[in-house]
Structures are given as structure tokens and as C-alpha cells.
Amino acid sequence: MKQTILKQPIHLKIFFSFAGILLLSIFVTLFFGNSMMEKLYTDSKTNDLKAAYQDITAALLAQDCDLSMNTSLLNTFYEVERDNVTILLFTMEQGQQARIYYFSRENQLLDEALHGAPFAIVNKQSQHKEQRNEAAPFPYNPEQWIHDAAEHGVFQTATLPLLVTNANQQHPGASMLDYYGKLTHENENIYIFLRTPQEPIALAAGLAVKYNLYLSLLAFALMAVMSYFVARHITRPIEQISQATQRISQMNFSQQCQIHTRDELQILSENINAMALKLQDYIYQLELNQQLLEKDLQRETKTNQLRKEFIANVSHDFKTPLTLIRAYTETLRNQQLDPEEQQKYCDIILGESNRMSHLVTQLLQLSKLESGIVQLEQSYFPIEELLREILHQNQLLLQQKQLHVGWDCEDNDHIVQGDYLRIEQALINLLENAIKYTPEGGQILLQVHTQSDELCRIAVTNTCAPFTDEQLENLFISFYKTDESRHLDQQSFGLGLAIVKATIDLHGQACTAQNTPDGLQIAFTLPLLQDIEDDWELDE
């Protein structure tokens, strides 16, 4: 699988995104600061002038427009002047002569008014003020201020108060913000002029923009560093998730994805871990199924091979008696034999026919058992009694080979549940198999024990050479034949053990084979009858 080369990692994208946003915010701040900061300051100062005008007007109206400088009015002026506002209070007499009642730059009179008895400034004609303030620089000359107001048409307009920006060409940088107002009382006009310099406004706006730039650059540096580490903190779990998925793609489930961010990434990592566990279980199950399938295929292959061998053996077993039957039949038909020879030939023909019939019966019985079409006829019977009957039937064969039969059973009889005829046939096959493969003078041991509260174990052990693991594993397979070099006198295990295994499987019980110190033991289990005494009482 081709691996993608990272040209634009996520943490760098996040970092540059944060940096771009910060730079854009700095640019917007500087742009609007340079273009709007001074206007904002001017608007703020204008509002201050309007508020000061309303305070002065309210103070004058409170004393019925009396222009005498008392403490209350001077305190009002003082509060206004604290905001760097110059106050000019005067009236216009006939002949357009101005009578000045108050000017903020008259500091001596202001101090006397604040610390002494209240008094009014009177008989101050404009020409006297001109003589006293002829050396006063712009914009602190009240006569010049009144002259400028006249040029602006303040005394002719009826739309007062009026805000005027007064820029003096002879004094660059001395631009002023003037607020002209008029209070009419009993046909007398009291003019209230307020002035504040614009230079501090521009200076304040410039300083604000300057310091805003410094702060923005500092914030940019700090945010850039923080954004880089934040981006790394965000992308580190993503890298861990990527590594975990890469390990999973390589079928490596040894390490889980450990993320504890308490967010969607942690949920994603937990889902990936859960997916990895399920995938591991699926793969394990697939491997297990594959192993079972391989074993089944091997077993099927072996079974097919055994079937081929069986067909060959069965064909041979059928061919031999058929050949003998045909030969003796032709002899009986073509030759004149005495009665004794005829009887002998007929006995041979009958024996071979019985042999063929027994083989066919076993094949049909095994086929029915393996196909599952056999219907069991369940009943209860004592297993020890059945074993004694089978031993009695095979007593002659046991005596011929001088075999000793041992008996290992518990004191009480075991009442088991099963198909009596099928279990009888299985025990007959087991005992015949033990007699057949036990050497002369050997021993056969019959055991019946209670394995659990519900099961009884029946075992048949005979003296013989030990079997290999492969032979034990295939012992109950149909048509299986042991190594002829080890058992030259044995054609095969035949169909007997296969019928036993199929019968016990049909009862839903277990049938096993294992080596013992002296031979081979084949055992199976059957269910015990529960509450025997109660059941017998019901039958009675």
C-alpha cells in the first residue's frame, strides 16, 4: 500500500490559519484606528462640550441668569475646565460691544472667587480686554475668539448652539473645537463659548494607534507561539490514531490507541480500539474456522481414501465368496457327487452366503446410523444384566482363546436409558472386537461406574499392543484399517467400532478410545434413570 507523504501537516495548517487571522485582525485594527480613532475622540469631545454647555446653562438658569460669579457657578466652571475646556461668558451691548463676564484664563480672578466672597466682573469693555490680552497667544485671546465667531456668523444665525472647527493658518497645529451657545433671558442674550484644542485629540488618537500596534504585535507573537503548541496538542492524538490504524492495517493488535482528551478524538480512539478487538476476534475466528476446515478437508480426503480402500476390500470380500459359491455350484451341477460331498459343498455355499449377508447387514446398519434416519426406541434397562448376557453368548470364543474376563462394577445395578437393541449391538461389537484383537491368554476388563449424578460410564479394556495417536484419532472412522505391518493377522477394525461410535452419537453421548498400561480401553456414557424408586412405584 502506497503511503502518502505529508506536505501540509494539520498542525501547520492550524498554525498558519491562526497567524493569518491575527495578522488580518492587526491590519483591520490599524486601518480603522488610523481612519476612525480621531473621529471617535472628536465625537467623544463634542459630546463632552454639549454636556458642559448644558451644565453651565442649568447653573445660570438656577440663579435666574444672574451673571454674578458665585461659588456654585464657579464650581460648575471648574468641573468643565477640568476636561481641558476653555469657557468664555459674555453679553453683547449696543454698538456690538462685548461685555466679558468670565474667561477661563483669568486665573487670578478665578482663585479670588474660589477663596473669597462671591463677586461679579463688571465694566470690562472689549477695548480694555484687548489691552490686557494683546500679548496672549492664539487661542487664548478672547477678543480674537469673539472676532472669529463673528466671521463664522455666530451672531447672525438663529441655529445656536453651533459646533465649529476653527483652524488658524497662522498657527499650524492650533486647530480648535469651538462650541457656540446662547442663552436668552428677558431680551438679553448671554453667549456661552466653549473651546477645546484638537491637538490633544489627535495626539491621543495617534498614541492609541501606536500602542495598539505594539500590543497587537506582542499579542501576535504570543498567539503564534500558543497556536503552534495548541495545534501540536490537537494533532498529536490524530497522529496516534493514524499510527493505530496503520498497525491495524498490518494486522498488529498488540497496542491500543490511548487518548484521553475527553472530546470527539477520545470517542474516535475508543471506537477504533473496539473495532480492533472485534476485528481481532473475527480474524481469530476465521483462522480457527480455517484450521477446522483444513482438518475437515484432511479428514474428508482421508475418508475418501478409506472409502476407496474399503470398496477395494469389500469388492475382494464379495468376490471371494461369490467365486466359491459359483465354483461349488457348477461342480454340483456338472458332476455326479456322492451325498456326503454334496452336503459338504452345500455347507460351503451356505457359509459364504451367510458371510456376504452379514457384511451387507453391517453396511446397511452403518449407513442408517450415519444418515440419522434411525428412530431410537428409548427404554430403561440394567446395563450390568445386558453385559452378562453378552458374555454368556461369547463364552465359547473366550474359552477357545483362553481369555480371562475381569469385572469391575459398583454394588448397585445401573439403570440406563437408551435403545436396548442398539446398545446391545454396540456392546456385542465391542466385546467381539476385544476378543478378536486380544492375544491368547490375555485379559478383558468390563467396567461400569457412575460418572456423575446423571451419567453412567461403560468401558471395555483388552490386552494389546499400544496404538499411536493417529490410530486412536481414526479408530472410529468408517473403513479405517490399521497398519498391516503391526497387525498382520488383522484384516482391519472393520465396521464394528464405526457402528459403536455412530450408535452412541445418536444417543447424544460420548465415545472415547485411549491406551492403558496393558492395552486399549473403549468407553462410552449413557444417561441414568433419575428417581428410580419413585418411577417403579408409579409402574406398580
- Cis omega before residue 161 (within 30°)? yes
Would you state the cell numbers that stand for residue 55, as one nine-digit string? 451644565
Would you say residue 19 lies in a domain? Answer: yes
pLDDT given for residue 51 in this prediction:
92
Cα end-to-end distance, the chain, whole Å? 80
Hey, CA dihedral for 467, 468, 473, 479, is it positive or negative? Answer: negative
Rounded-to-integer distance, Cα 360 and Cα 354, Å: 10
Rounded-to-integer distance, Cα 149 and Cα 154, Å: 5
Rounded-to-integer distance, Cα 493 and Cα 480, Å: 7
Q: Which amino acid is at 281?
A: D
Nearest partner of 446 among 412, 408, 403, judged by Cα: 408
Would you say residue 482 lies in a domain? Answer: yes
Would you state the cell numbers that stand for residue 119, as one nine-digit string? 463677586
Would you say residue 161 lies in a domain? Answer: yes
478 close to 370: Cβ distance less than 8 angstroms:
yes
List C-alpha distances in Å: 473 to 161, 470, 508, 514: 118, 5, 19, 9
Would you state the cell numbers that stand for residue 41, as one nine-digit string? 475622540
Task: Tell me phi and psi for residue 531, to 5 degrees.
Answer: 55, 60
pLDDT given for residue 420 in this prediction:
92
265 close to 259: Cβ distance less than 8 angstroms:
yes
* Cα 446-449-455 angle, rounded to 5 deg: 125
Contacts with 446 (C-beta within 8 Å, 6 or more apart), sequence order:
387, 391, 405, 406, 407, 408, 409, 459, 460
> Cell 480672578, residue?
109
Would you state the cell numbers that stand for residue 239, as one nine-digit string? 497522529
pLDDT given for residue 526 in this prediction:
93
Mean pLDDT by 10 residues, the chain (540 residues): 52 70 73 66 85 91 85 89 88 78 65 38 36 47 82 77 67 71 85 82 65 74 76 74 77 75 76 81 86 85 73 69 80 79 82 75 70 80 91 88 89 87 90 89 92 90 88 74 45 68 88 91 90 45
Would you say residue 268 lies in a domain? Answer: no
pLDDT given for residue 531 in this prediction:
56
DSSP letter, residue 14: H
- What is the number of structural domains in the chain? 2
> Cell 471371494, residue?
320
Rounded-to-integer distance, Cα 85 and Cα 410, Å: 125
> Cell 482438518, residue?
295
pLDDT given for residue 250 in this prediction:
74
- Edge-first strand order for the sheet with 511-515 is 404-409, 443-450, 455-463, 519-527, 511-515
Which of 142, 175, 204 is where one domain is finished?
Answer: 204
Rounded-to-integer distance, Cα 176 and Cα 458, Å: 124
Domain that holds residue 167: 12-204
The full DSSP string for 464-496 is -PPPPHHHHHTTTSTT----TTT-TT----TTH
Which of 162, 181, 204 is where one domain is finished?
Answer: 204
pLDDT given for residue 36 in this prediction:
67
Q: How many CB atoms lie within 10 A of CB 530?
A: 11
Which of 204, 223, 245 is where one domain is finished?
Answer: 204
List C-alpha distances in Å: 511 to 19, 60, 74, 300: 78, 124, 122, 21
DSSP letter, residue 311: H
Element (H, E) at 326: helix 264-334
Would you say residue 91 lies in a domain? Answer: yes
- CA of residue 319 relative to chain centroid, distance: 70
For residue 522, what is the domain's CATH number?
3.30.565.10
Would you say residue 476 lies in a domain? Answer: yes
520: β partners: 462, 515
DSSP-derived 3-state class of residue 49: helix
> Cell 491621543, residue?
204
Would you say residue 389 lies in a domain? Answer: yes
Would you say residue 141 lies in a domain? Answer: yes
Rounded-to-integer distance, Cα 24 and Cα 131, Å: 58
Would you state the cell numbers that stand for residue 155, as one nine-digit string? 451672531
Rounded-to-integer distance, Cα 524 and Cα 505, Å: 10
